[in-house]
Amino acid sequence: MKNKLLAFLAFAISIGIYAQKKVKLEDNTNASNFYFNNGKVGIGKLPSGAELSLGKKTGSDGSLTRLSLEPPKHTGGPWNYITRDVGAYAYLDQYYGAKQLLTFRHDGKIGIGKQPTDAELSVGRKTGNDGSLTRLSLEPPKHTGGPWKYITRDAGAYAYLDQYYGAKHLLTFRHDGKVGIGTKNTGSHRLAIEGSVGAREIQVEASGWSDFVFEKEYNLPTLLEVENYIKENGHLKDIPSEPEVIKNGIFLGEMDAKLLQKIEELTLYIIEQNKRITALEAERKN
pLDDT of residue 222: 95
pLDDT of residue 23: 56
Strand partners, 89: 86
- Say which amino acid occupies 227: E
* Paired sense of beta strands 191-193 and 158-165, if any: unpaired
Higher pLDDT, 85 or 5: 85
In a domain, 24, yes or no: yes
Strand, helix or coil for residue 262: helix
Greatest mean pLDDT among 6-15, 49-58, 69-78, 261-270 lies in 261-270
In a domain, 85, yes or no: yes
Do 260 and 221 sit in the same domain of this protein? yes
pTM: 0.59
In a domain, 145, yes or no: yes
Question: Cis peptide before 147, with omega less than 30 degrees from 0?
Answer: yes
H/E stretch holding 102: strand 99-105
> What total of structural domains would you count in the chain?
4
Backbone angles phi, psi at 68, to 5 degrees: -130, 125
In the structure, what pLDDT confidence band is assigned to residue 236 with cuts at 50, 70 and 90? very high
End position of a domain, from candidates 91, 108, 125: 125
pLDDT of residue 20: 44
In a domain, 25, yes or no: yes
Around Cβ 102, how many Cβ atoms within 10 Å? 15
Checking if the pLDDT of 17 tops 70, the result is no
Do 30 and 6 sit in the same domain of this protein? yes
- How far from the centroid of its chain's Cα atoms is residue 163's Cα? 8
pLDDT of residue 1: 44
Checking if the pLDDT of 51 tops 90, the result is no
Do 115 and 162 sit in the same domain of this protein? no
Q: What is the pLDDT of residues 56-68, one digit of tens each?
A: 665 555 677 778 8
In a domain, 239, yes or no: yes
Contacts of 263 (CB under 8 A, 6+ apart): none
pLDDT of residue 19: 45
Cβ burial, residue 265 (10 Å; 0-12/13-18/19+)? buried
Checking if the pLDDT of 269 tops 60, the result is yes
End position of a domain, from candidates 79, 102, 125: 125
User: Do 36 and 12 contact (CB within 8 A), yes or no?
Assistant: yes
Higher pLDDT, 59 or 258: 258
End position of a domain, from candidates 193, 220, 245: 193
Nearest-angstrom CA–CA distance, 133 and 149: 10
Nearest-angstrom CA–CA distance, 56 and 175: 44
Range(s) of the domain holding residue 109: 57-125
Q: What is the mean pLDDT of residues 127-152?
A: 80
Around Cβ 111, how many Cβ atoms within 10 Å? 21
pLDDT of residue 115: 84
In a domain, 201, yes or no: no
276: number of CA atoms within 13 Å, CB side? 6
Mean pLDDT of all residues belonging to the chain: 84
Do 183 and 145 sit in the same domain of this protein? yes
Nearest-angstrom CA–CA distance, 67 and 79: 8
Do 42 and 92 sit in the same domain of this protein? no
- For the ranges 83-87, 228-232, 269-273, the lowest mean pLDDT is seen at 83-87
Higher pLDDT, 158 or 227: 227
pLDDT of residue 83: 87
Checking if the pLDDT of 283 tops 70, the result is yes
